[in-house]
Amino acid sequence: MILITGGLGFIGTHTTRALLDLGESCVLVQRRTADVPGAFADEAGKRVFVEQADLTDQAALLEIGQRHRITGIVHLAGSMPWPPGANEPVEGARKAVASLLNVFQAAQEWQVSRLGLASTIGVYAGAEADGPLREDVPLPMTSGHPIPAFKKIGELMAGHLARTTGMDAVTYRIAAIWGPLGHAPSPFFAAPQLVHAAARGTVPDLSTLRGGAHAGNGTDLCYVKDCGRAIALLQLAGTLRHRVYNVASGRVTPNSEVIAAIRKAVPGARAGLPEGRDPAAQDVCLDITRLRADTGYEPAYDTERAVADYLAWLRAGNDR
């Protein structure tokens, strides 16, 4: 039975679905009270269980292990002082570090076979490489945003604890994820806004983007169903040869490709962007050689299939 922190969130929901499809059962941990969602209703009380616990409360987290035989952990919950203003800075940092340490404590006490930890493509900001970014590229010690800053802290702490305890702890550096349940608008890339606008028949609002709102810009877009399946494969793999894995599509998807897929699915969609490139935006691509070699993973959703699936979900009444 795999415990997933943030198991009812964006990536967590799709990771749960992938683990269920691979024959696992799951305990989904949320800070707020929640019921088993409709998508898992047939599995409620059989292979899907929802537990409420604040990860900063070690006793509450460990108590879950008295009710369920946990064999693995996928830690996806956002353990960082974010968004701004949610906590006083020092207290926010204390909670972020405490949450991660409590998850490690639970993994050690439950003697799980593997602990998976979510990191982000953002840790590569400023890294220098020719071609796709590999997991062994040196990372800058600076960060312009709290999310990659605390993910770097988490990666260093995970590496230390894995070495000193002998625990099998694996970090996932997750690319730009989009699809059902995802945030729209996104401050980091245009695809969610473009698809939501096409589903509504409106002009996309890209005012929240930090940069890259041009047709020629892109990033490593990974559809959320592929992301969930990759994480599930990493969790259940018999042997993993590395401590860090990129979870991505392995290619740059330019905005122009997303727009073309939208216009094919929704003729007349007002999905245009300025031509050319924003020179300040960096098109990042992650190397997924390790992921492919150790799990057999291949992305199942190209841009056209992803756009069509996302639009179908939105048109089914899920736009928000």
Which residue has better confidence, 81 or 223?
223
CATH of domain 2-175+223-247: 3.40.50.720
Mean pLDDT computed over 65-84 = 82
Asked if the domains 2-175+223-247 and 177-220+250-286+300-318 are classified in one and the same CATH topology, the answer is: no
Work out the burial of residue 23: count CB atoms within 10 Å of its CB; fewer than 13 is exposed, 13-18 middle, 19 or more buried: exposed
Contact 281, 217 (CB under 8 A): yes
Instruction: Supply the pLDDT for residue 11.
Output: 96
- The tens digit of pLDDT for each residue in 77-107 reads 975 554 555 567 888 888 889 999 999 999 9
Global model pTM greater than 0.85: yes
Fold of 177-220+250-286+300-318: UDP-galactose 4-epimerase; domain 1 (3.90.25)
Instruction: Supply the pLDDT for residue 134.
Output: 97
- Mean of the per-residue pLDDT values of the chain: 92
Q: Is the confidence at residue 161, as pLDDT, over 70?
A: yes
pLDDT > 90: percent of the chain = 72
Residue spans per domain, the chain:
2-175+223-247, 177-220+250-286+300-318
- The tens digit of pLDDT for each residue in 104-134 reads 999 999 999 999 999 999 999 889 888 899 9
Residue located via tokens 């694996």: 170
Cα separation values, 243 from 76, 129, 172, 234, Å: 16, 20, 9, 11
Instruction: Supply the pLDDT for residue 87.
Output: 64
